Structure 1
């Protein structure tokens, strides 16, 4: 993880994503649907659903929308059936890319993802072609914009909570956990009233690669093209983005 800040990459694209409010609601709806489908519709007993609902509420998604998607997933409301499909491939410069989708039409989604890769200098691979380069981890970001949180103190807190690793990124601490201990660590920091900027179970690359300015621009174009696809839920890659 050294030399790479997932949080900086998130911040880099946050403004553009916030401008797409309708798309954000749609993705929250699918996240809620998936979590409720897999673990039931009760946020008290389904940590993944509780996280999805909390994120939706943080983006001001209406409660009626949240409840409707939970009901769809649990079969108490008629609706379409979504299927989770993961695509793997390479972007410009050999950057590994994993794309998670949730779709009601897999043929449409496959064509759109394939077109995005082909148009932007990438190519799709077989399942497993790049996933071995990533680990599934819990990820929590603690705000330290004030600079008042001492690194030694927060590190001890993280270890006490059961975290695996922590990284100091100037204005924030990035905490990494196993998937099994993620919710316990998140609850620990929530109960202690730390300012949590972001949290999720996600894929973390073993190593990150830099590109030339020209190749990075092409890679960013691929990411943006994939983000424009309605069915895309998450994009993971091992690009070490520059600070420019």
Structure 2
């Protein structure tokens, strides 16, 4: 992945998020509901999944009072039991692989919208497992060099001592990789050490990246990703397009 600027992608996503904070906050609010329901507690000290969602909310600049309001609302949300996790896998142009994680209370609506997004971008939805083998589920923490003034070796040792699997220096960021089960502990240790994190989440990391040179292919995959990002049922989209 040499030369692949992950932080540039993160900043690109954040710029888009900033233009649609309301939609992003709605999605995170839904994640808070499910985290409380599945974690069994509205207290982040006793619910690691809730802690991780709160960290994601803060990374997306959700104000603390908005987070607290969403948690209070989630405690009494009777609709929480209606949410269902459904993952779709498919192919974009140029042999790209796309994974779509959704959280929905209407499977038919979600399936139709996801299929439409793929079709409009000249791709197609495949069968479960058709592309997920091309990705590894890992905890990923990105620290922007422009936000961290400390010593890289010290950061690496902090991460590894906390249980991280790997540490890499990229062009504009430091990447910390963890096992999904160790992610919460590593993230918390870095947070307590005052390390600024540009991104911290369990994600799907491509084993290889696909470059697209045809302008039509680039337009089509961007169309698919934009449609998916705009869908309220879609929580996460992973792909192996080297942007």
In 1: Cα distance, 2:52 partner to 2:192 partner: 15
* CA RMSD in angstroms, aligned pairs only: 1.9
Output one character per residue of 1:67-106: Cα deviation in whole Å (capped at 9) or x when no partner. Answer: 212432xxxx466611111000001111100000111110
In 2: Cα distance, 1:85 partner to 1:131 partner: 14
In 2: Cα distance, 1:79 partner to 1:30 partner: 8
Residue of structure 1 aligned with 2:231, choices 211, 229, 234: 229
Contact 2:90 2:99 in 1 (8 A): yes
In 1: Cα distance, 2:165 partner to 2:105 partner: 37
List aligned pairs for 1:70-149, cutoff 5 A: 70-72=75-77, 77=78, 81-145=82-146, 148-149=149-150
Match of 2:4 in 1: 4
In 2: Cα distance, 1:53 partner to 1:93 partner: 36
In 2: Cα distance, 1:33 partner to 1:226 partner: 21
User: How many residues matched?
Assistant: 237
Q: Is there any run of 5+ residues in structure 1 with no aligned partner, and where?
A: none
Match of 2:158 in 1: 157
Q: Is there any run of 5+ residues in structure 2 with no aligned partner, and where?
A: none
1:130–1:51 distance in 2 versus 1, CA, 3 Å: same
Query: 1:36 Cα shift?
Result: 1.7
Output one character per residue of 1:189-209: Cα deviation in whole Å (capped at 9) or x when no partner. Answer: 112111122211111111111
1:145–1:180 distance in 2 versus 1, CA, 3 Å: same
In 2: Cα distance, 1:24 partner to 1:5 partner: 23
Match of 2:222 in 1: 220
Contact 1:165 1:177 in 2 (8 A): yes
TM score, norm. by length of structure 2: 0.90
In 2: Cα distance, 1:78 partner to 1:9 partner: 34
**Secondary structure class of the residue paired with 2:138:** strand
In 1: Cα distance, 2:56 partner to 2:188 partner: 15
1:14–1:195 distance in 2 versus 1, CA, 3 Å: same
**Secondary structure class of the residue paired with 1:226:** helix
Match of 2:13 in 1: 13
Larger RCO (alpha carbons 8 Å, 6+ apart): 2
In 1: Cα distance, 2:105 partner to 2:69 partner: 22
Contact 2:97 2:240 in 1 (8 A): yes
Match of 2:72 in 1: 67
TM score, norm. by length of structure 1: 0.89
Match of 2:31 in 1: 31
Q: Does 2:197 align with 1:196?
A: yes
